């Protein structure tokens, strides 16, 4: 099946996003190893797609060894998976993307992976600031024209249909094109 990777710093709302996305879809976790923070988790989406839950980053309190292990795992995954059809990068809509977020975006682009950026927890921001927030996120990440930004809330469900439209489209185009 096509795979979509979900990445973001710890606590950004990745589990909440995935739970929200699959509440209208049947879901089964096909492989899960204790220590969720250390391993990739694969969610089988209606036998059509895998969501690959990548452990959260944001390494302030993590040892050098753990950081290196994480980097090696991500690198191995991103550089070898032929079924990877795109990545969802979550950022917190209340703040500018962090240096770690920018690095992760650049990393994904280095591997030529299509990226959907999701500005999550948007229910905690004012509607009046929406356009400014979106512009600032795009600017901070230096978002490619071909990559999309969607504002999302796991609380209200805002943005869910737009996210699914992107996921469905990615699942139906070819596998990764980074050879
Ligand atoms: P993860 O570590 O990235 O998987 O983050 P979680 O999904 O566990 O969410 C971290 C915290 O943020 C939890 O307290 C969630 O309830 C909260 N949260 C996640 N998404 C949203 C959202 O869209 N809106 C609000 N208001 N809170 C959220």
Which sequence spans correspond to the domains of the chain?
A: 3-172
Radius of gyration of the CA atoms of the chain, in A: 15
The reply to whether CATH 3.40.50.300 applies to domain 3-172 is yes
For the segment 46-50, the average pLDDT, to the nearest whole number, is 89
User: By CB neighbour count within 10 A (0-12 exposed, 13-18 middle, 19+ buried), where does 35 fall?
Assistant: exposed
* Strand-pair partners of 150: 118
Q: Would you say residue 33 has pLDDT above 50?
A: no
| pLDDT on residue 81 | 84
Q: Would you say residue 98 has pLDDT above 60?
A: yes
Residue 134 is inside which H or E element, if any? helix 130-141
Percent over 70 (pLDDT), the chain: 85
Task: Report which protein residue has its CA nearest ligand 1's atom 22.
Answer: 121
Average pLDDT score, the chain: 86
- Ligand 1 geometric centre to CA of 13 (Å): 4
Instruction: Verify whether ligand 1 is closer than 6 Å to residue 148 (CB atom).
Output: no
Instruction: Verify whether ligand 1 is closer than 6 Å to residue 15 (CB atom).
Output: yes
| pLDDT on residue 120 | 97
| pLDDT on residue 27 | 52
- Model confidence at 59, in pLDDT bands (50, 70, 90)? low
| pLDDT on residue 178 | 38
- For residue 160 the two structure tokens come to 């869910």
CA distance 135 to 2: 31
For the segment 128-145, the average pLDDT, to the nearest whole number, is 97
- Ligand 1 geometric centre to CA of 58 (Å): 15
Q: Would you say residue 179 has pLDDT above 70?
A: no
Specify whether the CB–CB gap between 103 and 141 falls below 8 A: no
- Model confidence at 60, in pLDDT bands (50, 70, 90)? low
Instruction: Verify whether ligand 1 is closer than 6 Å to residue 123 (CB atom).
Output: yes
Bridge-based pairing of strands 49-53 and 41-45 is antiparallel
- For residue 100 the two structure tokens come to 């770690």
Looking at the CA of residue 16, tell me the nearest atom of ligand 1: 7
Specify whether the CB–CB gap between 145 and 81 falls below 8 A: no
**Closest to 87 (Cα-Cα) out of 63, 57, 118, 64:** 118
Report CA dihedral (19, 88, 95, 156) to the nearest 10 degrees.
Answer: -30
For the segment 84-112, the average pLDDT, to the nearest whole number, is 95
Bridge-based pairing of strands 84-92 and 115-120 is parallel
Instruction: Verify whether ligand 1 is closer than 6 Å to residue 55 (CB atom).
Output: no
Q: Would you say residue 70 has pLDDT above 90?
A: no
């Amino acid at each position: 099946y096509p795979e979509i990777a979900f990445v973001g710093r710890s606590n950004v709302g990745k589990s909440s996003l995935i739970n929200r996305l699959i509440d209208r879809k049947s879901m089964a976790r096909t492989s899960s190893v204790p220590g969720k923070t250390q391993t990739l988790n694969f969610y089988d989406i209606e036998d059509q797609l895998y969501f690959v839950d990548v452990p959260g980053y944001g390494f302030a309190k993590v040892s050098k060894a753990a950081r290196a292990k994480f980097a090696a795992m991500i690198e191995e995954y991103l550089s070898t998976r032929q079924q990877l059809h795109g990545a969802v990068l979550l950022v917190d809509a209340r703040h500018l993307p962090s240096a770690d977020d920018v690095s992760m975006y650049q990393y994904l682009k280095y591997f030529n992976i299509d990226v959907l950026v999701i500005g999550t927890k948007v229910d905690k921001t004012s509607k009046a600031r929406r356009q400014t927030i979106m512009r600032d996120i795009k600017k901070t990440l230096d978002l490619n024209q071909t990559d999309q930004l969607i504002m999302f809330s796991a609380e209200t469900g805002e943005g869910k249909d737009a996210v699914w439209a992107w996921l469905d489209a990615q699942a139906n185009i070819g596998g990764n094109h980074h050879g």
